[in-house]
């Protein structure tokens, strides 16, 4: 099974990914993490400074990184992916790539109904590492003020300008809307209310995955009956 999760910052994306990975025993592809790793290699070192300065990588580079990742994993095992695609162009690139290998995206889960205020409240209670730039919820931090991954100094996101966050949220909605339509037209979209509790959100995803499976089976037998 090939699943993609899309949601705004603060929507619980990584938590839901982890639950899906554990439940279905699927490999996990966090594209943000894959890109961070790629930037440590010689091949992509030229782009390290760009990203550190807060610039986005050119699409072409991102696609190169993802292509080489896809080429190095066993697609038969399926995967759960987050952090990609961000645009319709990227979404159709994945479809073409997977199709060329005999695979397809099975479902795309959209974490919906996250109002700007809910996102702001969740994000601003988090801490970010000044060194590795990873973000942590308060309960993930064991040593106060220190990054659980690299021991770098953490800073309070409350210091961030709210307007910066508001822009990120706006940008997410602007970018994700056409992507959602794209997957809706392909009949692979699962939309869930992500403002609920973690377990409720996850149950809703499972429920819809199950329904889809049942629909597929009944459609298949219907087709068969008609022949
Ligand atoms: Zn760190």
Domain of 19 in residue numbering reads as 2-112+186-203
Q: Are 194 and 111 in contact, with CB atoms under 8 Å apart? A: yes
User: Is 149 within the bounds of a domain?
Assistant: no
Residue 65 C-alpha to ligand 1 middle, in angstroms? 23
- Record the tokens describing residue 193, joined without a space: 């209310």
Residue 5 C-alpha to ligand 1 middle, in angstroms? 24
Residue 40 C-alpha to ligand 1 middle, in angstroms? 15
Could you read off the pLDDT of 13-60 as tens digits, one per residue? 888 999 999 999 999 999 988 988 888 888 888 888 877 776 778 888
State the pLDDT at residue 226. 45
Residue 9 C-alpha to ligand 1 middle, in angstroms? 19
Q: Return the CATH number at 100.
A: 3.40.50.300
Residue 140 C-alpha to ligand 1 middle, in angstroms? 12
Residue 154 C-alpha to ligand 1 middle, in angstroms? 8
Q: Give the total number of structural domains in the chain.
A: 1
Residue 39 C-alpha to ligand 1 middle, in angstroms? 16
State the pLDDT at residue 135. 80
Q: Which residues contact 32 (CB under 8 A, 6 or more apart)?
A: 82, 83
User: Is 101 within the bounds of a domain?
Assistant: yes
Residue 225 C-alpha to ligand 1 middle, in angstroms? 58
Residue 153 C-alpha to ligand 1 middle, in angstroms? 7
Residue 128 C-alpha to ligand 1 middle, in angstroms? 8
Distance CA 173, CA 11 (A): 13
User: Is 223 within the bounds of a domain?
Assistant: no
User: Is 54 within the bounds of a domain?
Assistant: yes
Q: Mean pLDDT, the chain, as a whole number? A: 87
- The residue among 181, 56, 28, 212 whose CA lies nearest residue 110 is 181
Q: Is 196 exposed, middle or buried (0-12, 13-18, 19+ CB in 10 A)?
A: middle
User: Is 94 within the bounds of a domain?
Assistant: yes
Residue 31 C-alpha to ligand 1 middle, in angstroms? 18
Distance CA 204, CA 187 (A): 18
Residue 135 C-alpha to ligand 1 middle, in angstroms? 8
State the pLDDT at residue 225. 47
User: Is 213 within the bounds of a domain?
Assistant: no
User: Is 151 within the bounds of a domain?
Assistant: no
Residue 151 C-alpha to ligand 1 middle, in angstroms? 6
- Mean pLDDT (10-residue bins), the chain, 227 residues: 93 91 94 88 85 76 91 94 92 96 96 87 81 83 90 75 80 92 96 92 95 69 49
User: Is 50 within the bounds of a domain?
Assistant: yes
Residue 138 C-alpha to ligand 1 middle, in angstroms? 14
Exposure class string for 26-63: b at 16+ Cβ within 10 A, else e: beebbbeebbeebbeeeebeebeeebeeeeebeeebbb
């Amino acid at each position: 099974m090939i699943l993609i999760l899309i949601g705004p910052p603060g929507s619980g994306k990584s938590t839901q990914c982890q639950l899906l990975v554990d439940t279905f025993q699927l490999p996990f592809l966090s594209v943000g993490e894959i890109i961070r790793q790629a930037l440590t290699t010689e091949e992509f070192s030229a782009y390290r400074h760009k990203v550190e300065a807060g610039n986005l990588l050119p699409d072409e580079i991102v696609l190169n990184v993802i292509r080489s990742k896809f080429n190095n994993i066993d697609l038969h095992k399926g995967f759960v992916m987050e952090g990609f695609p961000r645009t319709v162009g990227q979404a159709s690139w994945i479809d073409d790539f997977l199709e060329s290998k005999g695979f397809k995206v099975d479902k795309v889960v959209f974490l919906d109904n996250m109002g700007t205020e809910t996102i702001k409240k969740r994000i601003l209670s988090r801490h970010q590492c000044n060194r590795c730039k990873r973000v942590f919820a308060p309960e993930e931090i064991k040593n106060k003020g220190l990054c659980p991954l690299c021991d770098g100094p953490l800073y309070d996101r409350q210091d961030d300008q709210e307007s910066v966050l508001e822009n990120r949220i706006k940008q997410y909605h602007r970018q994700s809307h056409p992507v959602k339509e794209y997957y809706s037209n392909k009949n692979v979209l699962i939309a869930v209310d992500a403002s609920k509790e973690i377990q409720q959100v996850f149950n809703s995803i499972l429920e819809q995955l199950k329904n889809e499976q049942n629909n597929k089976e009944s459609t298949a037998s219907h087709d068969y009956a008609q022949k």
